[in-house]
Amino acid sequence: MHNKRYFLEFIEREMGRCHRYSRALSLMMIDIDHLKQINDVNGHLAGDYVLRELAAVIRPRVRKEGCFARYGGEEFAYVMPELGGENTRMLAEKIRRLIEDHRFTFEGKDIKVTLSIGVADLVGDMTEPLQFIKVADANLYKAKKSGRNRVVG
């Protein structure tokens, strides 16, 4: 899995390419709901297991031209070149459901895991990665504020 620095370089490069060729580009900011609670109840090793297992479940669904990266803490980012609009929302919902339905079992104990996902599409006036990330992040915040375990954007 990629780290935040690689993600930032990738998104900057893709933003330039997509603006130049008028191509779609989407971004998902993905946050594990209540990871702190998972850590508090089950221990930090369980939290680490959830992070690794979640990445293992999502990774096969990442298109080869995309970038899936750990953004920080319990947050992941998924950049999708050539994808936008409703297709991105359908993919985000598919990922959300996949994690909700996946059985996370650590040391014989099932752990319920859900995601909140904020989605953004690249628009003409976004020239800096942080502008793009801010939109997806604001939608992620709305997903969390409106009850978690949902896609907004």
Active-site residues: which are they? Answer: 74
In whole angstroms, what separates CA 142 from the centre of its chain? 14
Exposed (0-12), middle (13-18) or buried (19+): which is 20, by Cβ within 10 Å? exposed
Which residues are within 8 A (CB) of 42 and not within 5 positions of it... i.e. 6 or more apart?
106, 109, 111
d(CA 151, CA 41): 26
